[in-house]
């Protein structure tokens, strides 16, 4: 069995491709003299991304900005947005893990939904559930929004969804305030 390249051929090829001898011979170390065959073939790692989307990191609620890079509708990379004054182009470990939970084959893509007064659950796509939640929150806000109190004090709030994600101690403060209706106080206790 004959090898395609002998050891002397490999050494000669390595020395020929090695950038250091070219630089010692007077070649510009910031141009072609610094390149190797491998470095000439390198491509930017995100060259294949269709677009770059900016979003707020969904994990830690610190407001860190992230770049999301998809290709053909599938996420290929996430990194911090260098324009962000909060994270300055970096991601915390939880933010970096966003890529994993967004692309995991174990990620839930369907939800169980039971219509009002229905006796059984039905499977629906996750996108449908997100759109439904957004619609219901917006409708509730529009129906119950208060921009000013009767005395003219601007408040710009709604008590109909005031507890969404708030800890119990916050709700006690909200419901004990003079601006809270009796019905809301009875509901939130």
Same domain, 25 and 59: no
Q: Which residue has the higher pLDDT, 19 or 91?
A: 91
- Candidates 67, 59, 65; CA nearest to 84 is 65
Same domain, 31 and 63: no
Strand segments, DSSP code E, in 89-178 are 110-113, 122-125, 146-148, 154-157
Same domain, 188 and 154: yes
User: Is 140 a domain residue?
Assistant: no
Give residue-wise pLDDT tens across range 2-12: 557 788 888 88
Give residue-wise pLDDT tens across range 115-168: 999 999 999 999 999 999 999 999 998 998 889 989 999 988 887 876 555 455
What pLDDT is recorded for position 173? 46
Look at residue 69 and give its three-state secondary structure.
strand
Q: Are 46 and 76 in contact (CB under 8 A)?
A: yes
What pLDDT is recorded for position 9? 83
What pLDDT is recorded for position 186? 38
What pLDDT is recorded for position 20? 78
CATH number at residue 75: 2.20.25.90
Is the pTM higher than 0.75?
no
User: Is 77 a domain residue?
Assistant: yes
Same domain, 60 and 85: yes
Instruction: Determine what percent of the chain is predicted with pLDDT higher than 70.
Output: 83
User: Is 114 a domain residue?
Assistant: no
pLDDT at 110 over 90: yes
pLDDT at 27 over 90: no
Q: Span 18-29, mean pLDDT? A: 77
What pLDDT is recorded for position 3? 59
User: Is 44 a domain residue?
Assistant: no
What's the whole-number average pLDDT of the chain? 79
Q: Tell me the pLDDT band of 28, cut-offs 50, 70 and 90.
A: confident
Range of the domain at 177: 146-189
User: Is 98 a domain residue?
Assistant: yes
- 179 alpha carbon, distance to own chain's centre: 37
User: Is 83 a domain residue?
Assistant: yes
| The total number of structural domains that make up the chain | 3
Same domain, 61 and 98: yes
User: Is 80 a domain residue?
Assistant: yes
Q: Span 89-101, mean pLDDT? A: 86
The whole-angstrom separation of Cα 117 and Cα 89 is 49
User: Is 133 a domain residue?
Assistant: no
Q: Tell me the pLDDT band of 59, cut-offs 50, 70 and 90.
A: confident
């Amino acid at each position: 069995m004959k090898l395609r390249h002998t050891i002397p051929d490999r050494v000669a090829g390595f020395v020929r491709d090695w950038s250091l001898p070219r630089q010692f011979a007077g070649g510009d170390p910031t141009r072609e003299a610094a390149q190797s065959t491998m470095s000439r073939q390198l491509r930017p790692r995100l060259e294949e991304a269709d677009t770059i989307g900016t979003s707020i990191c969904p994990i830690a609620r610190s407001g860190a900005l992230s770049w999301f890079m998809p290709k053909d509708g599938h996420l290929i990379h996430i990194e911090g947005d260098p324009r962000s004054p909060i994270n300055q182009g970096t991601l915390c470990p939880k933010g970096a893990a966003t890529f994993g939970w967004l692309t995991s084959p174990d990620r839930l893509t369907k939800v169980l939904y039971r219509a009002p007064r229905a006796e059984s659950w039905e499977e629906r796509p996750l996108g449908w559930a997100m759109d439904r939640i957004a619609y219901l929150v917006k409708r509730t806000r529009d129906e119950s929004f208060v921009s000013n109190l009767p005395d003219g004090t601007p408040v710009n709030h709604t008590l109909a969804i005031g507890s969404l994600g708030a800890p119990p101690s916050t709700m006690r403060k909200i419901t004990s305030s003079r601006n809270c209706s009796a019905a809301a106080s009875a509901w939130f206790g």
